[in-house]
A = this chain, B = another copy of it.
Amino acid sequence: MSGAAQNVPAEGHNEMTEEAAPVPRGTGVTLWRQIAERLEADIAAGRWQPGERLPVEAELASAFGVNRHTLRRALASLAESGLIEATAGRGTFVKALPLRYPIGPRTRFSEIVSAGGRWPFGRFLGGRVENADAEVARELEIAEGTPVLRIESIHEADGVPISYGTAWFVASRCPDLDLVYAATGSLTRALSTLGIEDFRRRETRITARPANGREMEQLSIAPGRSVLVLERVDVEPNGRPLQWGRSSFAADRVQLVFKP
């Protein structure tokens, strides 16, 4: 590490004063972005708990081998994402916490979030009836061109966006679902209101990639952060597809759990 430590750390328990792995240069990702990502990952991994204070800027800068201004640029982006908050004279504190998210036959966002001790909410962004294209038709096992209801929403836990995505429903099966969903903030409850008492997960497909502009915006996550992209098909008890959806989960705010 080329940068010499500029401030001698106070005595006592001290994390992060040992040098971190060098931040690679020339990778196409700026230093401040990489540092922000590492700090975010460390927080997600539990290195610092909510409410805990991070090492001071000078220490972090030294540990990462960068200038304090570069380090501050990293912290600024974390603050922008809502993960940390800094106050002059006081320090920088952690705000975030990941959610344990089991995926099973009866995956229900509301139940999962409530079980995690937080407040679930489905923020309805928009819905409209459109004719099923080839992909939607295949997933829902209907004829191409059949009217489907397309709903776009964000799912939040304690006001923090967890997932953002789109779901398609057979329009004739779910009249006015968008209106009831918008009113209740819960998809499961809206379906129940419409007489659909049960459905279960048929298949979940997962990939991951860096968030795009829309996802960054809707999920309030920093550029370059990863999203887990879930494509899922839910079916009614008679086996008929009810819903096909594709959602992006803020990877740092959720940990998917599977038990075969």
Given the interface contacts A21-B213, A209-B37, A209-B251, does A223 sit within 8 Å of B258 by beta carbon? no
Q: Is the CB of B259 within 8 A of A202?
A: yes
Residue of B with least CB distance to A255? B207
| Residue among A107, A203, A222, A259 with the highest chain B CB neighbour number at 10 A | A259
Contact call A251/B207, Cβ cutoff below 8 A: yes
A1 contacts B by Cβ under 8 Å: no
| Copies of this protein, total | 2
Please tell me if the beta carbons of A29 and B105 are within 8 angstroms of each other in the complex.
no
Q: Mark A212-253, 1 if CB is under 8 A from B, else 0.
A: 010000000011101110000000000000000000000110
Find out whether the CB atom of B224 lies under 8 angstroms from the CB atom of A24.
no
Q: Who on chain B is nearest to A250 by CB? A: B208
Alpha-carbon distance between A210 and B38 when the two chains are bound, in angstroms:
10
Shortest distance in angstroms between A19's beta carbon and chain B's nearest beta carbon?
Answer: 15
Given known A-B contacts A103-B260, A258-B258, A29 and B224 have beta carbons under 8 A apart: yes
Q: Check if A53 is an interface residue, CB within 8 A of chain B.
A: no
In angstroms, Cα B227 to Cα A24, docked, is 18
Measured between beta carbons, the chain B residues less than 8 angstroms from A21 are 213
